[in-house]
Amino acid sequence: MAKRALIIDDVEIVARALSSILNLERFDEVHVLTDPRKALSSIKALDPDLVILDVRMPHVTGAQVIEALGPRPHHRPGLLMYTASPKDDLDHELEGSGLTYDFYLEKPSGLKGLKQAVQTVLALVEPPAA
């Protein structure tokens, strides 16, 4: 089964760098979106295994994307928040909604931290090998 990822970050150079890293991590498809207003429709159309999502973006925040996405049965898609914003800010925005993300990683994190975060999120999404 093909592994698909969607990166949503308004800073194109960051999104492209993340895309390069995921391509090295053997993702079959990596899509980049720099306009968060298209996040929900892109997630629905692409059905990615992993979404790497910035928190502070113009027009639509990462928390608003999570809220629009709603409950995620079986952690699909896996949500990795990759941001320079404090984790407490995001948690406060989502407080009381019952919605959450799978992993929070602060920018800059380094290659090793990003790879570990991706593996952690994918382990939640992928069924265990038989």
Query: First vs last Cα of the chain: how many Å apart?
Result: 14
User: Average pLDDT in the 117-129 region?
Assistant: 78
Does 29 have pLDDT greater than 90? yes
What pLDDT, in 10s, does the model give residues 38-67? Answer: 999 999 999 999 999 998 899 998 889 988
Q: Where are the domains of the chain?
A: 4-125
The architecture of the domain spanning 4-125 is 3-Layer(aba) Sandwich (3.40)
Bridge partners of 80?
A: 52, 103
Does 88 have pLDDT greater than 80? yes
> In this structure, how many other beta carbons lie within 10 angstroms of the beta carbon of residue 74?
10
d(CA 22, CA 92): 29
d(CA 128, CA 66): 25
